[in-house]
Amino acid sequence: MDQSKRMKELIEVLNRASKAYYQENTEIMSNFEYDALYDELVLMEKETGIVMASSPTIHVGYELLTELPKEAHASPMLSLDKTKSAADLRSWLSGREGLLSWKLDGLTIVLTYRNGQLEKAVTRGNGEMGEVITPNARTFVNVPLRISFQGELVLRGEAVIPYSVFNRINHEIEDVDAKYKNPRNLCSGSVRQLNSEVTAARSVHFYAFNLVSAQGMDFASREKQFLWLMEQGFDVVEYVKVSPDTIEAEVQKFAERISDMDVPSDGLVLTYEDIAYGNSLGRTAKFPRDSIAFKWADETAVTHLQYVEWSASRTGLINPVAVFDPVSLEGTTVSRASVHNLSIVESLALGEGDEITVYKANMIIPQIAENLTRSASLQIPERCPVCGGLTEVRVVNEAKSLYCTNPACTAKKIKSLALFVSRDAMNIDGLSEATLEKLVAAGMLHRFADLYHLDAYREQIVAMEGMGEKSYEKLIASIEKSRNTTISRVIYSLGMEGVGPATAKLICSHFDQEPEKIAGAQEEELVSIEGIGPVTAAAVAAYFALESNREGYEAILSEVKLEKEQIAAESAIAGKIFVITGSLNHYANRNALKAEIERLGGKVTGSVTSKTSYLINNDTTSSSSKNKKAAQLQVPILSEEDFLALIES
């Protein structure tokens, strides 16, 4: 194949995979495969002397997609060159001393202190432009808000969530689909929250790895920088001083500890101890020359794929899991590995009986590295393994996945029931997804209204594992309490596409909270409601057009007593659409402001569009993306004081 053509193919595949991983938290290929393709591209660029403008070897990242304020870094934050050979590290030292430390797997953050106080925190972003997350950084478990040093201090470090915290959070999430894939994804979402309360609940830790500048201070060595940062109260990455004679033995010591590490790590970093020497080396277009990353040379084993197990989830997503002949890796026996989605199944060209190589990503998570046979004979199931319904392939964030299309699928039924009993819907305590699954399996639940007749199964429920007499009594009491409700809660509980709590209130208010009018609404009338789009209108009309849905709706209404909702339809903001951004002063948090807007008949959405009535931002003159969008669309920007004046008018 023509080298130039092959390079373009590699660039397209690598950029797509990188975008999916970093921006969309989706994997379309394994890390092993990505590294192999990346190394192939680097080699071809060296051989040909050609480097494309879009090559990932010279581009650090992608444009950010969040709504957080953005800020340019004073100097670009470059990636590190890498190797998987400890001998390469010894050669790289060129007879000098260095510091060897963990390469933590989280989100890189730049902290700035002035007058002894934390003034600003910015994410790495794309290396040139980051996101300002100062309120969130102030909630990190171990970040000092005040330090003794009074000059300007700028340092870089890694925000991480320990495995112990990650496992605890995932354990509390009963919905398999909602569980986080790894600590890095959880950390990224936690650090970049718009609500710092969420960040605070996630136990994010920060470990400094680089002192960028400290006003009036002069350091000759990296270790002295680390020791000084520790004096200021910072936790720094664990490190050891090395020489060419000790580097390989120290790498081995780190390797022996990786499986017991509570803090996620994907390798090591080696930096010259002599700062002046390291700085004198300068940088390439992509890498600084004073540091190099070491990635573990994954231990691989050859085995044979027995079959792929198709694991159905509660949302209809069907996940492929590879089952292979047991092999020993990193001291443990493994026989299963998630393949994540159909895109990876296709890229590996899997087939039963194929000879494959497997490894543990970061020495922990079993993965398929290569398929040596590449028979591509694996049959994608046409039927759901749970209900036998037809399946279909859908493309989500550029990754192909398999879904069950049967609306009556048991897995989907559990998810629907879980929404029905949730706090913003019918608010029935004591019914986790695991409990609902047991009730469905026992034949006690077929439709929503059946929840109001569970007292007919008292003995069976009391005898269920995890229930008992007290749990049963609490459950029945909660069910009885839920009978007094509002029509907007009922409408939300049905789980129609695009209908959240606020949208349900808009629909109910428009039809004077009359159940029959709502169920009989035509698509044309629904779309005429301010704040209701064509997709939602079509979904609502289609839902009630189905006779079984209408019957189920009427069955619910026969079990409950509807209370008139106090919606201030005559308020100044009735029917208006708001977007909230930035920090708040008058209201405790965004949820409190959102509740006030909805009480007065308004609606809150997440992004500024041509339908937005007002953007609420106390910093009305900021250059945030939402402010810019509002100005472009001529959407008024209100401070909290402006909003209060508006609702009092």
Tokens of 121: 């925190």
Tokens of 43: 């080699």
Tokens of 598: 């909805």
Which uninterrupted H or E stretch holds 347? Answer: helix 342-348
Cα(193)–Cα(147) distance, integer angstroms: 25
Cα(139)–Cα(66) distance, integer angstroms: 20
Told to judge if 224 belongs to the known catalytic residues of this protein, a careful annotator would answer: no
Tokens of 313: 């989830």
Degrees to nearest 5, angle at CA 318 with 315 and 321:
135
Cα(434)–Cα(195) distance, integer angstroms: 29
Cα(113)–Cα(151) distance, integer angstroms: 8
CA 165 to chain centre: 15
Cα(620)–Cα(608) distance, integer angstroms: 14
CA 626 to chain centre: 21
Report the largest interatomic distance among the alpha carbons of the chain, rounded to a whole angstrom. Answer: 83
What backbone phi and psi angles, to 5 degrees, belong to 492?
Answer: -65, -40
Residue among 477, 466, 426 nearest 449 (CA): 426
Which among 19, 70, 103, 415 is annotated as catalytic?
103
Residue among 110, 90, 99, 111 nearest 268 (CA): 99
**Region class of 275: left (phi > 0), else alpha (psi between -120 and 50), else beta:** alpha
> Would you say 426 and 489 are in contact if contact means Cβ atoms under 8 Å apart?
yes
What DSSP designation does 206 have? E
Cα(190)–Cα(176) distance, integer angstroms: 19
Cα(382)–Cα(94) distance, integer angstroms: 59
CA distances from 404 to 270, 310, 390, 401, 494 (A): 48, 11, 6, 10, 20
Which residues, other chains included, contact 192 with Cβ-Cβ below 8 Å and sequence gap of 6+?
Answer: 66, 68, 107, 123, 131, 133, 136
Q: What is the CA radius of gyration of the chain?
A: 28
Cα(603)–Cα(601) distance, integer angstroms: 7
Helix (H, G, I), strand (E, B) or coil at 154: strand
Cα(189)–Cα(178) distance, integer angstroms: 13
CA distances from 135 to 68, 111, 120, 548, 594 (A): 11, 12, 9, 49, 20
**Region class of 60: left (phi > 0), else alpha (psi between -120 and 50), else beta:** alpha
Which uninterrupted H or E stretch holds 212? Answer: strand 205-214
What DSSP designation does 551 have? H
Cα(30)–Cα(343) distance, integer angstroms: 10
Q: What is the DSSP string of 565-581?
A: P---TTSTTTT-EEEE-
What DSSP designation does 553 have? H
Tokens of 354: 């194929």
CA distances from 147 to 116, 119, 259 (A): 5, 12, 34
User: Which residues participate in catalysis according to the annotation?
Assistant: 103
